[in-house]
C-alpha cells in the first residue's frame, strides 16, 4: 500500500477542519479596512483614513514557557490572549492603532479541538485590541514537536501619524510615571516562576497557597496578560499629551523603563509604596529570590508605564480609573546612577 502524508504524521483533513472552525472566529474580529477573508495566500488591508503621514508599526512575540503550564493543566482557552497581548502592547507604546494580527501555530500532532480553543483566545485578544485577525499558519511537524504539544508566534501591524510617534523627545525630569496594574506574571519570567513554584516549593498546580488569596497555582500561572488597547484609546480620545509608554515584559522593571530614553540623562524613579504586588510574586520571593532578581525578571504588578507631564497626571489617573491607574513615580536626572531606581 502506498504511503500517505497522514502516514507520515500530517493530517490534511484535520487542518482543513480547523480552518472551517476558525473562519467565524476571524470574521468576528474584522475591521472595515480588511479586504477578503480567511483562505487566500495573503491578507490585504487598507490604511485607515484620517492619517496625514501614516507610518506602519510592526511587532512580533510568542508566549514562551507559559505554554508548558497550559499543557500540564490542559487549559488552552486564554493562552491566545497572551499571544495577542505580547505583540499589541509593544505596538501601543509607539502611539499606534493596531490594525491586524496573524498567528503561527506549530504542533507535533494537530488536535483540532485544542487548536480551535487556542485560536478562539487569539480572536478574543484581537477583539479586545480592536484589530483584525486576518490569517495565520498552522504547521503539523511530527518530527520536531512532541505529540500534541504546540508553539505559538504572533505578528501584528499598526499605524500611527508620524507627528504622533512615541516616545517624544521632550521628556524632562519631573514628568510623572502612571502605572497600569498587571494581572500577575503575564507572559514573562515563567521559566523562573515554574522552577521556584513547581520544583523548589514543590506545589502542585491544584494547590491553593495562602499567598495566592484562594487562587490555585494553575490560576496564578495562567492568568492572561492584560491588553492595554482600551486605555490608550481613552488617552487619544481625551487628547492627553502622554509622552512615552513602557510595556513591562522580559527584563522587568529594571530593563524596560529606560527603553523610552534617547540618551543617558534621565532615569525612572518608582515608588514601591504606590502599587500592590500580586500574590504570585510574593510566593516566588518567599523561596529566597533576591529583590533585584525579582525586579529584573518580572513586572511586579505593573504591566504598563505611561509618562505624562505634571499637568496631565491627575486627569490621566481620573480618566483611567477603570483600570486602576495610579501615579507610581517620576523621571529624575540620572546623574551617573542607574536608569531605573526605586524608593519606598
Residue 1's pLDDT is 60
CATH superfamily name and code, 176-343: PurM-like C-terminal domain (3.90.650.10)
Are both 12-164 and 176-343 of the same fold?
no
* Amino acid 4: pLDDT: 80
Burial 275-301 (b: 16+ CB within 10 A, else e): bebbbbbebbbeeebeeebbbbbbbbb
Structure confidence by residue, pLDDT tens digits, 8-30: 778 888 888 988 898 999 899 99
What's the pLDDT score for residue 324?
98
* pLDDT for the residue 142: 93
Cβ atoms < 10 Å from Cβ of 311:
9
Does pLDDT of 143 surpass 90? no
For 298-332, the pLDDT digits (tens) are: 999 999 999 999 999 999 999 999 999 999 999 99
What does the pLDDT average to over 117-145? 96
Q: What share of the chain in percent tops pLDDT 70?
A: 100
The answer to whether 164 and 300 have CB atoms below 8 angstroms apart is: no
The residue extents of the domains of the chain are: 12-164, 176-343
Q: Is there a contact between 242 and 94 (Cβ–Cβ < 8 Å)?
A: no
d(C-alpha 332, C-alpha 328), whole Å: 13
pTM, full prediction: 0.96
What is the pLDDT averaged over residues 236-264? 97
DSSP codes of every residue in 295-325: HHHS-TTEEEEEEE-GGGHHHHHHHTGGGT-
Q: Packing angle between helix 112-129 and helix 12-27, nearest 10 degrees?
A: 20
Helix, coil or strand: residue 63 = coil
What architecture is domain 12-164?
2-Layer Sandwich (3.30)
What pLDDT score does 184 carry?
98
Mean pLDDT over 92-118 rounds to 97
- CA-based nearest residue to 66, from 141, 150, 134, 176: 150
Q: Tell me: the pLDDT tens digits for 157-197?
A: 999 999 999 999 999 999 999 999 999 999 999 999 999 99
Alpha helices, H only, the chain: 12-27, 66-73, 79-92, 112-129, 190-194, 217-222, 229-238, 252-255, 279-285, 291-297, 313-319
Amino acid at each position: 500500500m502506498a504511503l500517505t502524508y497522514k502516514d507520515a504524521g500530517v493530517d490534511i483533513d484535520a487542518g482543513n477542519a480547523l480552518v472551517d472552525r476558525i473562519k467565524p472566529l476571524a470574521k468576528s474580529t474584522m475591521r472595515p479596512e480588511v479586504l477578503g477573508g480567511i483562505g487566500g495566500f495573503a491578507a490585504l488591508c487598507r490604511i485607515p483614513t484620517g492619517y496625514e503621514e501614516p507610518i506602519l508599526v510592526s511587532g512580533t512575540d510568542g508566549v514562551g514557557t507559559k505554554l508548558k503550564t497550559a499543557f500540564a493543566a490542559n487549559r488552552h482557552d486564554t493562552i491566545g490572549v497572551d499571544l495577542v497581548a505580547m505583540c499589541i502592547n509593544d505596538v501601543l507604546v509607539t502611539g499606534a492603532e493596531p490594525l491586524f494580527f496573524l498567528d503561527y501555530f506549530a504542533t507535533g500532532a494537530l488536535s483540532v479541538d485544542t487548536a480551535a480553543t487556542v485560536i478562539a483566545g487569539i480572536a478574543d485578544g484581537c477583539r479586545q485590541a480592536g484589530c483584525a485577525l486576518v490569517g495565520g499558519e498552522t504547521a503539523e511537524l511530527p518530527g520536531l514537536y512532541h505529540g500534541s504539544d504546540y508553539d505559538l508566534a504572533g505578528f501584528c501591524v499598526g499605524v500611527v501619524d508620524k507627528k504622533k510617534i512615541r516616545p517624544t523627545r521632550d521628556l524632562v525630569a519631573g514628568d510623572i510615571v502612571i502605572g497600569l496594574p498587571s494581572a500577575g506574571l503575564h507572559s514573562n519570567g515563567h521559566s523562573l516562576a515554574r522552577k521556584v513554584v513547581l520544583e523548589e516549593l514543590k506545589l502542585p498546580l491544584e494547590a491553593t497557597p495562602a499567598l495566592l488569596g484562594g487562587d490555585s497555582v494553575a490560576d496564578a500561572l495562567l492568568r492572561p496578560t492584560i491588553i492595554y488597547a482600551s486605555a490608550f484609546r481613552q488617552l487619544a480620545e481625551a487628547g492627553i499629551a502622554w509622552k512615552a509608554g513602557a510595556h513591562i515584559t522580559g527584563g522587568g522593571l529594571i530593563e524596560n523603563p529606560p527603553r523610552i530614553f534617547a540618551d543617558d540623562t534621565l532615569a525612572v524613579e518608582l515608588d514601591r509604596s504606590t502599587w500592590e504586588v500580586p500574590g504570585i510574586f510574593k510566593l516566588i520571593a518567599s523561596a529566597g529570590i533576591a529583590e533585584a532578581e525579582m525586579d529584573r525578571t518580572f513586572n511586579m504588578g505593573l504591566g504598563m508605564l505611561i509618562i505624562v507631564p505634571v499637568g496631565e497626571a491627575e486627569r490621566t489617573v481620573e480618566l483611567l480609573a477603570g483600570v486602576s491607574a495610579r501615579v507610581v513615580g517620576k523621571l529624575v536626572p540620572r546623574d551617573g546612577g542607574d536608569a531605573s531606581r526605586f524608593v519606598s
